[in-house]
Structure 1
Amino acid sequence: MNGSFGVTCNWAKIGLLLLLLSILGCNTLKKVGEDELLLTKNTILVDEEKVTNSEIKGLIAQKPNSSVLGYPLKLNLYNLAKENPDSSFQDWLHRKEKREKRLNNLLSVKQVNRLSESFLVKGYSEFLKRIGEPPVIIDTSATNKSLKKLESYYNSKGYFNNTGEYQIVDSKKKRKASIEYSITLNKPYIVDTIQKNITSPELDSIYQNAIRQSFVRQGEQFDLDKFTMERERLTSLFRNSGVYNFQESSINYSILRDTTLAADDQLMDVQLNIKKFRSSNDSTDTNMPYKVARHKQINIYADYDVNGGMDTLQRIQHENYNIYYSGKLRYRPKALADAIFFEKDSVYRDLDRIRTYRQITNLNTFKYPNIEFIPDSTQTELETNIYLAAKPKYSLNLNFDVTHSNIQQVGTAFSASVITRNVFGGAETLNISARGSIGLLSDASLSDETFTSELGGDINVTFPRIWLPFNTEKIIPYYMLPQSRLSIGTNFQRNIGLDKQSLNSILSYNWSPTERLKNNIELLNVEFVRNVNTNNFYNVYRNTFSNLDDIADQFQDNPEYSSYFDPILEEGEEPRLSIPDGANRFAKDVLSDSIPVSPEDKQEVNSIEERRRRLTEDNLIFASNFTHTKNSKSGINDLDFYQYRIKLESAGAMLSLLTNAIPFNKNPNGQHLVFSVPFSQYVKTEFDYIRHWSIGGGQVIAFRSFSGLAIPYGNSDNVPFVRSYFAGGSNDNRAWNAYELGPGSTDNINDFNEANLKLALNLEYRFPIAGDVKGALFADAGNIWNVFDNETNPGAIFSGFSSLGDIALGTGLGLRYDFTYFVFRLDVGFKTYNPAKIGSDRWFDGYNFKKAVFNIGINYPF
C-alpha cells in the first residue's frame, strides 16, 4: 500500500512539473493566425511626449494580454486548451474500443468510459479557456475607436483643434506588433467672460455670495471636468442654502463664440444657465422658480408602522419637535431630539438631512429611517416628517468553530451573545456574551490532564453620546456620531499555559469628525491577570527549561546535587532537573552562590529566573490611551488609498500619583502593591501607515510600516507580556512563525520571544491569476528589541543605528482566493536575511521549501 502511494505521489509530482514546463514553454503565437498580429504594446505620444497617465491609457480599447512580471500567464493557459477536444481524441477512443472488445467488456461500461473521458477532456479545455485569456489580435476598428476617444478626451481639455493618428509598428518577431498613437494638440481654448442666466432671484443671490469658490474662472483653459465640478458645487451650495428640491439637471452651460473673431483667436465666452424647477409629479405646472424653504414643523414618528393608522397616535412636544407615538413612548424625548439635526424655523440644509440619517443609524435601535418634506403652497415652508421603525428589542447570535493551535491538537469553540436595544430608554445597547472552548492537548507533558478548556464572558453597554458628568456637545457635536462604551469581562483558562484568570474593564469614547477620521479614547482600561498554575512554567516554556537544564548537566553525576534531578528515569534517558521543585531550587541556589558556576552561566541563570518571575507574576494594568485613525479609501473598490493610525498609551501614572497620598504596601523589590499585586507603569506609542497603489489590471502594490515603543518606568522595570511586541506570523514577517523572530540577533532563545520595541516594513505586489484566484509576491522586514528595560543580553538590546543591521528580511509568494465577503490566504515565506546567523550565513540560509514557513490567514495582512 505504501509503495503504491509513493508511486502515485511521484507521478503527481512529475505531472505537475510537466504542466509547469508546458506553461512556461508555451508558444504565445499558438492561436495567432498567419495574417494576424498579436498586440504587444500601446504607446501614446502627445506633442511627441510619451504619456504615462493611467487615466489616458485607460481610453485605449485594445490592451495587450495581461502578464505577471512580464510573463503572459493567462494567455499561455488559454493556449493549452484544445480547440476541438472531441476530434482530437476520436482515434484514441476508437483504438480503446477495439481493446475493450477483445476483453469482452460490456457496452454500458464502454459508453460510460467514453463519455466520462470526453467530458473530462472537454471540461479541462473549457476550464483553461475560462481562466485564461485569448490572444489580443490587432483590430483596426478598435484602434480607430481608441483614437477617437483620445481626441475626445483632449477636446474636453480645451484642445478643440487637436488631430490624431496611429501607426502599427511591426516587431522583430513575426506576427507581433505594437501600436503608437500620436496626438497633436494645437492651441487650447480659453474662457474669456462668464455670463449668467439664473431664473430665480434667490438662487442668483446665493450664487453671487459664493462666486469666489467657482471652479470655472475667467482667463483659464477650458476643462470639461471643471464644469462638471462646478455643477456639483452649485447643486450642493443650493441644497445647503434652503433649496431642498434643487435638481442638478437644472444647470447647463452655453458656449458663446463670436464668429467675427479671427480663426486663430482661442477666446470663448461661457454662459451659466439655471432653469426653473421641473416637477415630475404635476404635469400641469412643470416650471416653478426655486425658492428658499424653512422648517415650519418637525414631526418625529417613533415606532412607525407603515400599515398602522395615524389617527390614534398620541403627541408630545419637546424642544419644538412633535413626537408621535402609540401606546407608551419607549424612548426619552431628548434621545430622539438629539438624533435630529433639523431645527424649527431654520433654513433647510441637505447636510442636516445626511447627518440625521447617519446619527439615527448610529443609534443601532431603528431601521434605516424615512424622511419626508412636504412644502406649502408658497414653496417656502416645509413640514418635515421623520419616520422611525424600531429594530427587534432582542437578538441572539450563535457561533461554533473548530480550532487548532500549538497547544491544542483539535478543539471546538462556541460563543453566544444576546443584544438588548434601548435598555434605558435613550437608545442604549446592552450586549451580553459568553464563550467557551474545549480541546485535546497537543503535548501530554504540558499537563497531567488530556483536555484544555476556556470559559469567558463580557457585558458591554453602548451609549449614543459622550457619557461624562459635563456637557461635551460643543466639543464633540452629535453629527460626529459620539459613542461611549462600558465593558466588563472575565476569562478562565485550564491546561492552557499557566492557567490564567483575567478580569478586564474598559470605559471608552469614540467619535468621527469626518467620514475618514476616527478618534477613540480609552479613559480607563483596567486588566488584572492571575496565573493560577505557576508551577507549570518549565513545562510550558521548554526552551527556557532546556537552557537551565544544560547548565545543570555539569552536576548531574555528582551525588551531592542529586536532589535537584528527577529520580525516575526511563532506560537510556539522561538525568534532568525535576519540575518544578528541582529547577526552582537550582536557579535559586546558583544565584545565591550555593552552587559554583561560571560567571557566564550565572548570568544566564539570572536571565532565566528574571523571565520566570516576570511571566509567572500576576499583572495589574491601569491604562489610558488615545487612538487617531485616518483612511482615505472611498469604497471597497478603491484600490488606491492610504491610512494611518497613531496611538498613545500611559499605564500606572494615576496610581503612581496616589502613592504620594496613600501608603501603599511594597514587595521586597520595592514595588508598590494594589491588591497585593505590583501595578504596571509604562508609556507606549505606535504609528502604523499603509499605502496602496493601483497599477492597472487589478494589480496593486501595497506597503506598510509599523513602529512601536513601550518604555517601563517607576513601578516597573519591564512591560507586561500582554502589552509587549512580538515578530513573525501571518500578518507580520511571514518567513518566521509568530514569536520566533528576535529579539535582535538572538536565535529563538525563548518559546515566546517578545520585547518592547518593534520596527516592521512590508511590501507586497498583488496580481490576478485566474478568476477569483489572486497571487502575491512579498518582502517583509523588521525585528523586535529590548530597550530601557531590565534585559541584559546584548544581542537582544537596541543600542543605536548599528542595531538596524539586525533587521530580518523574509521574502515569498502567496495565493489568495476571493470569496467576496472574505479572502482566504496562503503565504509561503523564506528567510532571506536572518540576523541570528553569523557573517555570510545570514543570507539565503535554508532558502528552500523544506525550511519555508507556511502561513494561512483570512483577508489581506495589510
Structure 2
Amino acid sequence: MNKYPFIYTFFLIVLVSSCSNTRFLSEGDLLYTGATVKVEGKEVSKKERKALKSKLQELVRPKPNAKILGLRPKLYIYNIAGETKKDKGFRYWLKNKVGEPPVLYSQVDLEYNKSVLQNFSENNGYFNAKTSADSTRRGKKATAEYTVKPARQYKINEVKFPTDSSVLATAVRKTSKRSLLKKDQAFNLDVIKEERARIDGRLKEKGFFYFNPDYLLVQVDSTVADHQVDLIVKIKEATPKMAETPYQINKIIVYPNYSIGVDSLIDNKNSIVKYNDITIIDSTKMFKPRVFDRTLNFSKGDLYNRTDHNLSLNRLVNLGTFKFVKNQFKVSDTIGNYLDAYYFLTPLPKKSLRLELLAKTNSANYTGTELNLNWSNRNAIGGAELLTISAFGGLEVQVSGQNNGFNVYRFGSEANLIWPRLVAPFRFHSPSGFVPKTKLTLGYEYQNRTKLYSLQTFKGSFGYLWKESERKEHLLNLTEITYASPRNVTALYLDQIQANQSLQKVIDKQLIFGPTYSYTYTNTVQKRKKNTFYYKGTVDLAGNITGLATGADTKKGNTINIFNVPFSQFIKIENDFRHYYKLGPDSQIASRIIVGAGYAYGNSTEMPFIKQFFIGGTNSLRAFRARSIGPGTFDGSTTATNTFLPDQSGDIKLELNTEYRAKIYGLVKGALFIDAGNIWLLNENADKPGAKFSKKFISELAVGAGVGLRFDFSFLVLRTDLAFPIRKPYLSEGNRWVLDKVDFGSGSWRKENLIFNLAIGYPF
C-alpha cells in the first residue's frame, strides 16, 4: 500500500472534497452539478446535430460550480471558510473572493431553459422542433437533462426589397447588393437583425439621420416551398416623415471651452469667430480656428453621413487636448432639409506636471527602476500642439548573467513638440479618424556603465506620424540624428580591447543621421478573431545622401568627417512578424519571426555598434545570457574575463519564437516556449572565427526551451521564465544538439544551463 502513496493520496483528496461539499448544504437543498443537452432525430445530419448541441449547451442557466480535475475547489474553499461577521478581513476575502457559493438545484428553472432552447432552435430555422426537460437526483446532488428534436431546417428561397419609388424605398433597395441574406442560406433571426442594422448603416451614409433599424420589418413567408421561406423587407407604415428624409449640413458651431454647469454658451460679438464654414464661440480665444477646420470632416452643404460624423468625433478626441467631446445635431431653421452641427468641447488642463516611478526590464537581462519628471503643455502655440519636457534618472542591474555587478546608471532630459498636423509645404488630409502628427525631439542622455565606461548621447529627430486606420500606422522621420561620445573609459575595459579589438567600436565616437521609416500593421485589438497578426517593418537609411554628395569611400581612403567625427553610412532593414492563434478563451499560441539585415558602405566599413543586432535575453532567446549568442558559431565566452562578458553584435539577425500561453488559476498564467535564432556578420572578422553569414546558417541556430509564469495584475504583468538550451551553435558541428545531455538532477548542469529570467510584460 505504501508503494503508490501519491495515487492513494490523490484519490483520497478527490473523495473527501467531493463528499465534504454536500455536507455543508442545508436540509432539503441539492447541489446542482450541471446539465446535459441531447439533440435527437434523423431529419437533420449528424454534423448539424453536433453543431446545434454545442450552441444549445451554452444557453442553459445557471452554470454549475467550477471544476478542476473533477473537483470543485472554489466551492470547497467557500464552505470551509465558514461564516464571516465582517465585510473585510482574510476570512471574508477567502470566502467571497477566492471561494464560490454553491449553485443549488432550486435555482434551476427547467421550463425557462426549455423555452430558451425552443426559441433558439426556431430562430435558427428549426421551426417544428420539440423540446422536453427533466432532472435526476443522486443523493444530495441533482442534474438537468434537456432533449431537443429538431425537424428539417428552413432555408431562404428569395429576399424581396421594397419596390415603390419613394426616396426611402429607393435608398433601401439600392443596399440589396450587399445583403447578408442569401438564397439557400439557413433561416437565422440573428442574421435578419444584422441585416436591418446593415441597411440602417448604409442609409446613414446617404443622409437619413433620423432613420433607425426599428423602422424596418422583415416578414417571413413559409408557404412558398417545402422547408423554404421568402423574406420580405418592408418599411413600416408608422415610420415618421423625418426618418424618410435625407439631410444636409447647414451651420457648424464649435464651443471649444465648454464647461458643464457653467454658462459657457453665451454668444456675444467678442466671442464669435467665423472661419470658412465653421462658427467658433469662445471668448477666451484659446485655440486657433484652423485647428477645427483641419479636424472636422463636415462642410456646409455636405450630405450628412455617419462616417464623417464619427471621424470628426474621433479626430477631436485624438487631438489629446479635450477631456470631453460632445456632439449634437438639430434641425436647422433654414428652409429645406438641413441639420446644424454643434460640438461642445471641454479642454483638459493646459499645463500639467507628473512624477513617475517605474520598474523596467530590457533585452539585456537588466532590471531596474527609473524616476521621471514630466511637464506638459497641451496647447503650446494655440494650435493644440503638445509640448513635453522630461527629466529622468535610473539604475539598472543584471539579475542573472555574468555581468552581474556591472550596473548601469543613466540620467538625461528630452523635449518633444507635437503638432496635430503635418508641418510640410503640402496639404495632407488623412481619411482616418486619427489626426496626422509632426514630431520634433531633442534629447540628451548620460549613461555610466560601472567599471567599464560612460557614454553621453545627443539625439534629435523631426518626422511625421499618421495612421490609416486603427490597424495601420506609419512613422517617417525625415532626419534622425545621434551623436555618441565616450568618457571615463576604465583600465579594465582598455585591457579587454587589447584582447578583443571589436570592443573598440563600442566606445568610438559616432555620428549617425538620416531618414528612418517604419510601418506597423496589427489586428490584435479584435478579441473575437481566432487568428490575429502584428507586423512592423523598419528601414534606416543613414548618411546616404551625404555620402553620395561627398563621394565618401573609406575603402579608397576618402573618409569624410563632420566635426572631426566620421559619419556613419549604412542601410538597415528589420521585419518583426507575430501571429496569435486563440485556442480558447484563456489559452493561445503566440509566435514571432524577426528577420533583419544591415549593410555599411561608403563612409563606413561596418555598422555602428548601437545600430547592430543582438540576440539572447529576457525578450529574445531566453535560454541564453543576454547578448551572448553569436555571431554565427563564434563563442563569445572565450573572450570574457572572470568578471566581464562583452555584448556580441551582428549585421544579420534571424529569430523565431513560439509560446503556448494558458490561464492556470486567477491572475496566474503559465507558458511553455521554444526560441531559436542567431546573428551573423556580413564580412569575415579575424577576431571572431565562424561569425560570417553563409548558406549553412540554419545549422548555426541556437535553440532553447522553457516554462514560465505570468502574474497579470492588470496594471502590469510580472513575468518569470526558466529556460535551458537544447542546441548550442558554438559547439562543433554534429555535437550542437544537447537535448540528450539535459540533466535536471545534476547541480553542475543546472548551474551551467538553467537561466532564470525576471521581466515585466510579455516577451512579444
1:457-856 correspondence to structure 2 within 5 Å: 457-473=413-429, 476-477=430-431, 479-496=433-450, 497-534=452-489, 536=490, 539-540=492-493, 580=495, 587=498, 608-609=500-501, 611-634=502-525, 641-660=532-551, 670-749=558-637, 751-788=646-683, 790=685, 793-800=688-695, 802-838=696-732, 839=735, 842-843=738-739, 845-848=741-744, 850=751, 851-856=753-758
Counterparts of 1:410 and 1:207, CA distance in 2? 61
Residue 47 of structure 1 aligns to which amino acid in structure 2?
S
| Match of residue 570 from structure 1 | none
Deviation, 1:743, is 2.6
Deviation, 1:390, is 2.2
Residue 684 of structure 1 aligns to which amino acid in structure 2?
K
Deviation, 1:176, is 14
| Match of residue 219 from structure 2 | 254
Residue 532 of structure 2 aligns to which amino acid in structure 1?
F
Distance 1:163 1:716, change over 3 A: farther
Determine helix, strand or coil for the equivalent of 2:172: helix
Determine helix, strand or coil for the equivalent of 2:324: coil
| Match of residue 71 from structure 2 | 75
The answer to whether structure 1 residue 270 and structure 2 residue 231 are counterparts is yes
Deviation, 1:648, is 2.2
1:198-597 correspondence to structure 2 within 5 Å: 201-218=166-183, 220-258=185-223, 265-275=226-236, 289-306=243-260, 307-309=262-264, 310-312=266-268, 314-327=271-284, 329-376=285-332, 380-401=337-358, 413-437=370-394, 453-473=409-429, 476-477=430-431, 479-496=433-450, 497-534=452-489, 536=490, 539-540=492-493, 580=495, 587=498
| Match of residue 594 from structure 1 | none
CA contact (8 A) 1:743 1:754 kept: yes
Deviations 1:548-590 (A, max 9, x none): xxxxxxxxxxxxxxxxxxxxxxxxxxxxxxx55xx77xx5xxx
Residue 661 of structure 2 aligns to which amino acid in structure 1?
R
Distance 1:782 1:252, change over 3 A: farther
TM-score between both structures, scaled by the size of structure 1? 0.72
Counterparts of 1:815 and 1:466, CA distance in 2? 44
Deviation, 1:31, is 0.7
Residue 757 of structure 1 aligns to which amino acid in structure 2?
I
CA contact (8 A) 2:121 2:150 kept: no
Distance 1:729 1:41, change over 3 A: farther
Counterparts of 1:441 and 1:141, CA distance in 2? 57
1:123-142 correspondence to structure 2 within 5 Å: 127=94, 131=98
Counterparts of 1:450 and 1:790, CA distance in 2? 27
Distance 1:837 1:127, change over 3 A: farther
Residue 766 of structure 1 aligns to which amino acid in structure 2?
R
Distance 1:644 1:430, change over 3 A: same
CA contact (8 A) 1:650 1:682 kept: yes
Determine helix, strand or coil for the equivalent of 2:14: coil
Counterparts of 1:373 and 1:512, CA distance in 2? 28
Distance 1:128 1:720, change over 3 A: farther
Counterparts of 1:747 and 1:642, CA distance in 2? 35
Deviation, 1:386, is 1.6
Counterparts of 2:127 and 2:542, CA distance in 1? 66
Deviation, 1:22, is 5.6
Counterparts of 2:406 and 2:353, CA distance in 1? 33
CA contact (8 A) 1:623 1:650 kept: yes
Distance 1:135 1:683, change over 3 A: farther
| Match of residue 194 from structure 1 | 160
Residue 210 of structure 2 aligns to which amino acid in structure 1?
N
CA contact (8 A) 2:360 2:759 kept: no
Deviation, 1:463, is 0.8
Counterparts of 1:333 and 1:518, CA distance in 2? 27
Counterparts of 1:176 and 1:852, CA distance in 2? 50
Determine helix, strand or coil for the equivalent of 1:59: helix
| Match of residue 571 from structure 1 | none
Deviation, 1:806, is 2.6
Q: Which has the higher strand share?
A: 2
Determine helix, strand or coil for the equivalent of 1:249: helix
Determine helix, strand or coil for the equivalent of 2:58: coil
Distance 1:353 1:83, change over 3 A: closer
CA contact (8 A) 1:422 1:429 kept: yes
| Match of residue 859 from structure 1 | 761
Counterparts of 1:708 and 1:294, CA distance in 2? 52
Residue 577 of structure 2 aligns to which amino acid in structure 1?
Y
Distance 1:190 1:253, change over 3 A: same
Stretches of structure 2 that go unaligned for 5 or more consecutive residues are: 24-29, 136-140, 638-644, 745-749
State which drifts further: 405-414 or 665-674: 405-414
CA contact (8 A) 1:621 1:679 kept: yes
Distance 1:163 1:297, change over 3 A: same
Deviation, 1:442, is 11
Deviations 1:737-793 (A, max 9, x none): 321233333334352122222222222222222222222222222222223465763
Determine helix, strand or coil for the equivalent of 2:461: strand
The answer to whether structure 1 residue 47 and structure 2 residue 45 are counterparts is yes
Deviation, 1:123, is 6.6
Determine helix, strand or coil for the equivalent of 2:173: helix
1:5-16 correspondence to structure 2 within 5 Å: none
Distance 1:53 1:793, change over 3 A: farther
Counterparts of 2:7 and 2:276, CA distance in 1? 74
| Match of residue 125 from structure 2 | 158
Deviations 1:653-672 (A, max 9, x none): 11211213xxx797996533
Q: Which has the higher helix share?
A: 1
Counterparts of 1:442 and 1:764, CA distance in 2? 23
Deviation, 1:349, is 1.1
Determine helix, strand or coil for the equivalent of 2:322: coil
Deviation, 1:266, is 2.3
State which drifts further: 42-51 or 522-531: 42-51
| Match of residue 95 from structure 1 | none
Distance 1:440 1:274, change over 3 A: closer
Counterparts of 1:403 and 1:193, CA distance in 2? 59
> Alignment length, in residue pairs?
719
Residue 615 of structure 1 aligns to which amino acid in structure 2?
V
Deviations 1:92-116 (A, max 9, x none): xxxxxxxxxxxxxxxxxxxxxxx9x
Counterparts of 2:155 and 2:45, CA distance in 1? 17
CA contact (8 A) 1:482 1:512 kept: yes
Larger Rg: 1
Stretches of structure 1 that go unaligned for 5 or more consecutive residues are: 1-17, 88-114, 169-174, 279-285, 541-578, 588-604
CA contact (8 A) 2:78 2:94 kept: no
Counterparts of 2:53 and 2:689, CA distance in 1? 50
